Structure 1
Amino acid sequence: MTFVALLSISLLLFFLSIKTTTLSQAQCLSDQRDALIQFKHGFNNNTQLHSWNSSTDCCIWDGIECDDQTGMVTAINLAAASISGELNPALFNLSSLQYLDLSSNNFYNITLPQTGFERLGNLTDLDLSSSGFAGEIPIGISSLKHLISLYLSDNILHLHETNLKTVLSNLTNLQILGLDGADISLNGSEWGNAVSQVGITLVSLSMANCGLRGNLPDEIFYFTNLTYLDLSSNSKLSGKLPELTKQSILQYINSAFNSKPYKTPIFGL
């Protein structure tokens, strides 16, 4: 066999191996596909999810990303997808999920399940904001120790059966926390102590209109990585803003005392 023939065969085998690898990377596992189909069945209006067809590879469906090597679903992004209905518990079978965004949809007055989120132990980003979810903030979220961002703002959520300190107790990697509009109803020392558990990593804290009351806890202004703080529309919150040093990296404060908003860029930033 000539050198040219050997070279041609070698190149053919090489490109076949690349194609085989690419195809194997693109295929999701059947249990992942089935879980997503069940999840879709919980929606009343899923016309935006026409690509979610059980006869196709779920890794190429709209809003879905998979791990190239394992075929496990790692991301669901259905932000502003005009979906309504409920969260089918099949969602919690996707244990490799790292990113979940269901924000800006129409889940009006749908109660978030209290159990299930703890099964998504690999989640780093959870966004359920502005979708009309109601009820108690799920205690299962407290188990998501890898969370970096948690957006629950602009829903109809509350903490009545548990407390903020419990929810945040294990979220030691959290950098962004959005709870705007959630009924937290705690005094300054209580919510200050709760947030202090994750203060060392927090970059952004937004708790506007959360029913916060009492004296403003000074410690939140000195979280070493905090650059954004919004405590506006908490009319029962009292106190005064501390003098910040040049060492503080806090760049923006939006707070409210006696319904009078105070907004400032810090040190001209």
Structure 2
Amino acid sequence: MFKQNLSTINNTLYTYDYMCEDWIGSGYNPMMKNRNTSTNCCDWNGVTCDHSAGDVIGLDLSCGMVQGTIHPNSTLFHLPRLQRLNLAYNNFTDSQLPPDIVRLSNSLTHLNITNCGFIGQVPIYISHLHKLVSLDLSFNEINLQPHVFINLLQNLTAMKELSLTFVNISIVLPSNLNISSSSLNFLNLGSTGLHGNLPPNFFSLQSLENLDLSGKSLTRHIPSDISLPKLVELDLSLNENLLIQPCFSVFF
């Protein structure tokens, strides 16, 4: 069982207090301590169910002071109607994102594993989650192989928010890189090790509001004929060789 491999972080000073306070208004929510003793999982904290069908459709353990290991055979990946999975700001140190995540390909729309201590390679099956609207893998010691990264951008047509901050990608951006989602409004690729020239289509995403390409790696100028009508924030900081058109606002 998923919960049998988890416990509560036994620290008086919770590592993510300040982050969680900004996010949910309090330092933490000790999920395992406050777990409802009901045998009906739909009554548990952080669990959302479709009561008409009795299916679990949401699991939110964010800032839950949870620690443990997520095993490849975890029952977490046996929830056929799971739409939202949020494990952010917990301690799953030495866990990997198992290939079994593909079992959720027909349902999962939101996946957040921000700052959870995940390691290893992101499985290629992440790009098979074709219903994903929001994906956040940030601040984990994980690697995203080039073909997996490219598949993410080219295959996930429903994507609106993609955050890969500090995920190790370390590739030269291909000049023909296409981003399939016309609804993408948030793209964070900061400190991923990407380098090379910016593909022209980065600057023609009509729905894009926030673009972060910071991190000492990009080598070309921002074109003057960009078409980003909804852009609110652009971060190109720590790219010392990048030429910025004077008419363009950049947040450093």
TM-score by length of 1: 0.75
What secondary structure is seen at the aligned counterpart in 1 of 2:218?
A: strand
State how far apart, in whole Å, the 2-side matches of 1:44 and 1:188 are. Answer: 41
The one of 177, 195, 212 aligned to 2:194: 212
- Quote the residue 1:137 is aligned against: 122
Query: Is residue 2:116 matched to residue 1:116?
Result: no
- Quote the residue 2:219 is aligned against: 238
Select the structure that is richer in helix: 1
State how far apart, in whole Å, the 1-side matches of 2:180 and 2:31 are. Answer: 37
Give the direction of change, closer, same or farther, for the CA distance of 1:50–1:265 in structure 2 (3 Å limit): farther
- Quote the residue 2:8 is aligned against: 45
State how far apart, in whole Å, the 2-side matches of 1:244 and 1:152 are. Answer: 32
Aligned length: 225
Query: Is residue 2:243 matched to residue 1:222?
Result: no
CA contact (8 A) 1:253 1:265 kept: no
User: Pairwise mapping of residues 26-45 of structure 1 onto structure 2 (< 5 A)?
Assistant: 38-45=1-8
State how far apart, in whole Å, the 2-side matches of 1:53 and 1:209 are. Answer: 40
CA contact (8 A) 1:96 1:122 kept: yes
Superposed CA deviations along residues 49-97 of structure 1, whole A, max 9, x for unmatched, are 2454665321111000100200100000000111111114110111110
What secondary structure is seen at the aligned counterpart in 1 of 2:3?
A: helix
State how far apart, in whole Å, the 2-side matches of 1:265 and 1:45 are. Answer: 51
TM-aligned CA deviation for residue 168 of structure 1: 4.0
State how far apart, in whole Å, the 2-side matches of 1:246 and 1:174 are. Answer: 19
The one of 50, 63, 77 aligned to 1:67: 50
Give the direction of change, closer, same or farther, for the CA distance of 1:161–1:170 in structure 2 (3 Å limit): closer
Q: Could you tell which deviates more after superposition, 69-78 or 211-220? A: 211-220
Give the direction of change, closer, same or farther, for the CA distance of 1:210–1:245 in structure 2 (3 Å limit): closer
- Quote the residue 1:249 is aligned against: 230
Give the direction of change, closer, same or farther, for the CA distance of 1:73–1:259 in structure 2 (3 Å limit): farther
Backbone CA RMSD of aligned residues: 2.7
State how far apart, in whole Å, the 1-side matches of 2:146 and 2:214 are. Answer: 25
State how far apart, in whole Å, the 1-side matches of 2:192 and 2:41 are. Answer: 39
- Quote the residue 2:171 is aligned against: 186
- Quote the residue 1:30 is aligned against: none
What are structure 1's unaligned runs of at least 5 residues? 1-37
State how far apart, in whole Å, the 1-side matches of 2:188 and 2:82 are. Answer: 25
Give the direction of change, closer, same or farther, for the CA distance of 1:70–1:265 in structure 2 (3 Å limit): farther
What are structure 2's unaligned runs of at least 5 residues? 10-29
CA contact (8 A) 1:168 1:198 kept: yes
- 2:209 partner amino acid: T
Q: Could you tell which deviates more after superposition, 120-129 or 46-55? A: 46-55
TM-aligned CA deviation for residue 162 of structure 1: 4.6
TM-aligned CA deviation for residue 179 of structure 1: 0.5
- Quote the residue 1:81 is aligned against: 64
Identical pairs, percent: 32
State how far apart, in whole Å, the 1-side matches of 2:140 and 2:94 are. Answer: 9
State how far apart, in whole Å, the 2-side matches of 1:127 and 1:232 are. Answer: 21
Superposed CA deviations along residues 199-238 of structure 1, whole A, max 9, x for unmatched, are 42211100000101111222101111111100111x1211
CA contact (8 A) 1:109 1:156 kept: no
What secondary structure is seen at the aligned counterpart in 2 of 1:221?
A: helix
Which protein has the larger Cα radius of gyration, Structure 1 or Structure 2? 1
TM-aligned CA deviation for residue 154 of structure 1: 0.9
